Structure 1
């Protein structure tokens, strides 16, 4: 159970490069490792709770046996005061049995108590390491996302200036220039297609303008 945390240290420090080489998603892998660590902590917590319950049960039974030892001792004293030696003997014999029970239970309780302390220390260590790994995981996830974003941007920027894009832009520029040349040619052809009548028509319009101006001057309408 506790070996998993040692393996996690190796994974994060060295096997992360191996995951990247194998095209594995480090973010997903780190999330999976954290879930496994959390499951291990829950398992240890359950074991600690069970040991604590056992410790309390043994302590209670040991206390009950110790109380019976005290009770039988007092009863033996009472029997002696009553000059009932047989009853005192039987009380002391029963006391001896309770003493044996107490010694056994108390020894088991002390072992269980030590186990509980060890498990608690291990659990605290696991939780501390889990939080440290969580912080490191968050940092690695942020770095991985940043690296992915930079890679995507670099690929996009490199595709903008490639030969194919540049050639496409040049073709569009040439087409616009061709449109402009066609427009200029059409305008020149329109000017050259004017007939002799068109030119005389322009002249006649000029004469009318001059005559109209002379007439307005004569009538004082300027």
Structure 2
């Protein structure tokens, strides 16, 4: 072998090795991407738990208000039986105010149910994506490690550095990594979109609506008093209220046929 040929091989081996050393190790990059996805998945699961906890607090508050609602109705009937229409009116007025508060709580509870369902769906989708990414990650890492070992063996046998084919394989793995990152970005966009909260700000004419609600509540109290006067001998009640822990959800609702 001539000195010129040996010198060319030495230069080629040195430059090729430097070029490959500068390339990012896809195994480390894949592991980092996987860890980031696990952190994102944990954040989504924590959000699901937080919303579920808040929904449970609203449910407990609704149960307390339902119990008070029922007690006020009983107090009104007892007052009428004792001939105290003033006390019956006061109890019914308080119950009318409580009913409007329960209606707002029912809306909040319904919104939280919908938000919980959306977050749970996102969590399931993201879990599947992370599991699929992990399988592909390990496959790519194993392939890369095997290829790396083969390159080292070829270098030892042939006495030259990494080949151009190995550079092409590294570029292909880099393209695969970019595709994985794009999929993760799309999943992140979906999760951000699902976190939008319902706007509960008051309408510009809320003051008029409140005044009309007061007049309506007063008319309803008068109607209930008249109904109690008519039902007093038989002890019947014209109000509908479902018993049980979730009975508060039926307050103010139209009776089922």
Normalising by structure 2, we get a TM-score of: 0.53
Whichever structure has more helix as a proportion of its residues is 1
Distance in structure 2 (CA, Å) of the matches to 1:21 and 1:42: 35
When Rg is computed on C-alpha atoms for both structures, the one with the higher figure is: 1
8 Å CA contact retained: 1:58, 1:109: yes
* 1:78 aligned partner: 78
Over 3 Å counting, the alpha-carbon distance change for 1:21 and 1:75 in structure 2 is: farther
Tell me how large the CA RMSD over aligned residues is. Answer: 1.7
> Which of structure 1's runs of 4+ aligned residues deviate more than 3 A?
none
Normalising by structure 1, we get a TM-score of: 0.61
Matches within 5 A, 1:52-201: 52-159=52-159
Cα offset, 1:85, TM superposition: 0.3
Over 3 Å counting, the alpha-carbon distance change for 1:21 and 1:88 in structure 2 is: farther
1:8-59 CA distance string (max 9 Å, x none): xxxxxxxxxxxx9971100000000001001111111111111111100111
Structure 1 runs not aligned, ≥5 long: 1-19, 161-222
Query: Helix, strand or coil for the counterpart of 1:36?
Result: helix
Distance in structure 1 (CA, Å) of the matches to 2:72 and 2:128: 50
Distance in structure 1 (CA, Å) of the matches to 2:137 and 2:93: 65
Distance in structure 2 (CA, Å) of the matches to 1:68 and 1:102: 11
Cα offset, 1:75, TM superposition: 1.1
Distance in structure 1 (CA, Å) of the matches to 2:100 and 2:70: 13
8 Å CA contact retained: 1:63, 1:102: no
Query: Helix, strand or coil for the counterpart of 2:23?
Result: coil
Cα offset, 1:119, TM superposition: 0.5
Distance in structure 2 (CA, Å) of the matches to 1:149 and 1:102: 69
8 Å CA contact retained: 1:62, 1:105: yes
Distance in structure 1 (CA, Å) of the matches to 2:91 and 2:130: 56
Over 3 Å counting, the alpha-carbon distance change for 1:80 and 1:22 in structure 2 is: farther
Structure 2 runs not aligned, ≥5 long: 1-19, 161-257
